[in-house]
A and B are shown apart, each in its own frame.
Chain A
Amino acid sequence: MPLKERISAFDGLDITPEQREILEAIREFVDREIIPVAKELEAKNEFPTKIVEGLRDMGAFGMRIPTEYGGLGLDLVTYALVIAELTRGWMAVSGIVNGQYIVGGMVAAHGTEEQKANYLPRLAAGEIRSCFSMTEPGAGSDVQSILTTARRDGDEYVINGSKMWVTNGDRASVIALLVKTDSDVQPRYKGMTALLIDKLPQVADQGGMKISPPLGKLGYHGVESVEISFEDYRVPASAVLGGEDKVGTGFLQMMSGIETGRINVASRGLGISLRAFELSIEYAQQREAFGKPIGHHQLIQKKLADMATRIEASKHLILAAARRKDSGQRADIEAGMAKLFATESCQRCAEEAMRIFGGYGYSTEYEVERLYRDAPLMMIGEGTNEIQETIIAKGLLKRHELI
């Protein structure tokens, strides 16, 4: 049933008419093209081809790519709110847009002119997909402990090692890959380099590069996460992101991509919370117990109030972090806070939705169980929330150091 006033990521926020129109268009796309099909596609773990084509036609893959390379050059605020609205429909969809955003952002910020001209127009048009990869079987939060190496041999690099949880890894045509080019240098991050590696989409065996079948996951179905292993895989030296004088700066390049990526994950958390709340406040007015709608019982009201308050706070943390980043300032603390709070909140909202829906929440007939399975990844991905707390605290101690 429609609600008298809708639940959205952007209503009531101080945004421009143009930002509002973009968000309205995305909102309508989500309501008509994503929400009605998400349950079935998710259950079949099917890639949302038609949705991706629709978003491509709308130009959504070029949102953050500079206009001179065929993108829209949108600010981070608009992007973050778009991601929240897309996730309200289905988290997998924002995951597909996200890969494009991180890699596009890294190439735009650090790439050589040739790399920008090669990748950005195709990424903006949605012609190719992309993924980025740091995590390994033995290295997640502790990025500096990665083992994958790239050894210089003439005009080439020879890659050996294995990467884990590469989302979009099968369908991508380019991987932004973090490798070690110098294992001896201290601190370790100075021996790390980012490579842009071309690959064929949906081909498992590409000689020295092998892509695993999709890894099994609790949720986040519809978009593949794979393992990619390299065995004496050769790439030209021109694959170094930013050119050969940027060898040894890959860790910092990746981290700059991740910083805004955290705002992106916060937005995805917000999107899950929005949907959980939207479904809950509707259901709480329909379902009756003890002679009245359950929304009139105080313990259910407490849940609704808590969810809505968290949503409101998440929105403003995301907005503050995105605005700070848009103004050219560092925003690692703010992005960390937004990510931490919005994703812990999405877990809470998904669980509260399940409690409000009761048995129906646990049923695969309803959306709530999907939200409940999707939410935890947001607390783990793009820097676990435990890492966020460390980053926030270290950043604050530095910012407010005694003098």
Chain B
Amino acid sequence: MRIAICVKEVPDPTAEKRIDEGTKRLVRSGENTLNPYDRHAIEAAVRIKEGPAPDTEITIVTVGPATATRSVDRALAQGGDQSVHVADDAAAGSDLLGTARILAAALKRGGYDLILLGQQAADSESYVMAGLVAELLELPCVTQAASIELGDGSVTVKRQVESGYDTVKATTPCVVSVSDAINDPRYPPLPAIMGAKRKPHEVLTLADLGIDASTVGAAGAATSVAALSKPEGRGDTIVIEDDGSAAAQILAFLVEKKVVA
């Protein structure tokens, strides 16, 4: 089985996010790291390889600046066998569709049976990349997978939804985004960290993928950020100072809201 995992390098999610006032884009000059949600997708693939399909080959696919190799290595250390990295200055500033176009072109070359993504990226938080990539590749798409079971020419995915779980069967090849509840990603073993650099890395340009640079990057972006503002404060926060009756006050509030009976 051939599995591709789309990963993204994002600014350290634990650090404060900053917006460049001029470009209205996220400042990415600080510490960057592998999108934590992608680690669940890698873990899901590694478990397939360790379990039902030991001959699985796992390819890490990313679009990002040349410096994103660090996150690619991190993904390889967690269990990837090889990587495809589209690094082209003309890709900078791509909007969601532009990024999806590049990913789709890179994925098309690989002939993958299963394309996995994390549920969202910790920077843009859009949740839509799996849908975009699947649409461009004309493949079935299942999102928010809480479990993935391999079948013959298909996968059965339990989807986490508000009311419980949906069970969806999709023919392969297909695109699946995994929820962050699907697994507990392992820590990269130290030997794998040391071996990541020795794994095959393919670095591609837009030209290698036959992509017209004017359709992607800042030049090809169909969307632009008009304005950014902070959300209004809710203003309805109640602060209870404990004078010995705090527990009773909280209970009364919860009863009033019918949270507890």
Spell out A's residues near B (CB within 8 Å): 2, 4, 6, 17-18, 21-22, 25, 28-29, 54, 57-60, 63, 72, 74
Contact = CB atoms under 8 A, between A and B. Distances in A.
Given A21-B73, A25-B193, A2 B187 contact: no
Contact of A18 (B16, B187, B194): B194
Q: Which 7 A-B pairs have the closest CB atoms?
A: A59-B190, A21-B193, A59-B189, A59-B191, A58-B189, A25-B188, A29-B187
Contacts of A58: 187-190
B207 to A, nearest CB: 28
A399 to B, nearest CB: 36
Nearest to A6: B14
A377 B191 CA distance: 32
24 contacts: A2-B14, A4-B15, A6-B14, A17-B70, A18-B193, A18-B194, A18-B197, A21-B188, A21-B196, A22-B190, A22-B193, A22-B194, A25-B77, A25-B187, A25-B188, A25-B193, A57-B186, A58-B187, A59-B189, A59-B190, A60-B190, A72-B190, A72-B191, A72-B194
Contacts of B73: 17, 21
**Interface secondary structure of B, over-half rule:** helix
B193 to A, nearest CB: 5
A8 to B, nearest CB: 11
A2 B187 CA distance: 22
A281 to B, nearest CB: 16
B101 interface: no
Candidate in B15, B186, B190, B196 with the most chain A CB atoms within 10 angstroms = B190
A25 B194 CA distance: 12
Interface string B184-216: 001111110110110000000000000000000
B83 to A, nearest CB: 15
B165 to A, nearest CB: 27
A362 to B, nearest CB: 23
B186 A21 contact: no
Which of B14, B188, B197 counts the most A-chain CB atoms under 10 A from its CB?
A: B188
Contacts of B197: 18
Nearest to A4: B16
B159 interface: no
Contact of B190 (A6, A17, A63): A63
B8 interface: no
Nearest to B197: A18
Chain A CB count within 10 A is highest, among B73, B77, B193, for: B193
A105 B14 CA distance: 37
A4 B14 CA distance: 8
B74 interface: yes
A21 B189 contact: no
Q: Which of A28, A54, A58, A72 has the most CB of B within 10 A?
A: A58
A54 B187 contact: yes
Contacts of B189: 57-59
Q: Give the residue among A4, A6, A21, A54 with the most B Cβ atoms within 10 A.
A: A21
Nearest to B14: A2
B166 to A, nearest CB: 30
A356 B40 CA distance: 40
Interface in B194-253: 194, 196-197
Contacts of A28: 187
Nearest to B74: A21
A63 B189 CA distance: 11
A102 B76 CA distance: 31
A377 to B, nearest CB: 27
Contacts of A74: 190
Contacts of A2: 14
A59 B187 CA distance: 11
A60 B190 CA distance: 7
A21 B77 contact: yes
Interface in B27-83: 70, 73-74, 77
Nearest to A21: B193
Given A2-B14, A21-B70, A25-B187, 16 more contacts: A6-B14, A18-B194, A18-B197, A21-B196, A25-B77, A29-B187, A54-B187, A57-B186, A57-B187, A57-B189, A58-B189, A58-B190, A60-B190, A63-B190, A72-B191, A74-B190
A77 to B, nearest CB: 14
B252 to A, nearest CB: 28
Contacts of A17: 70, 73
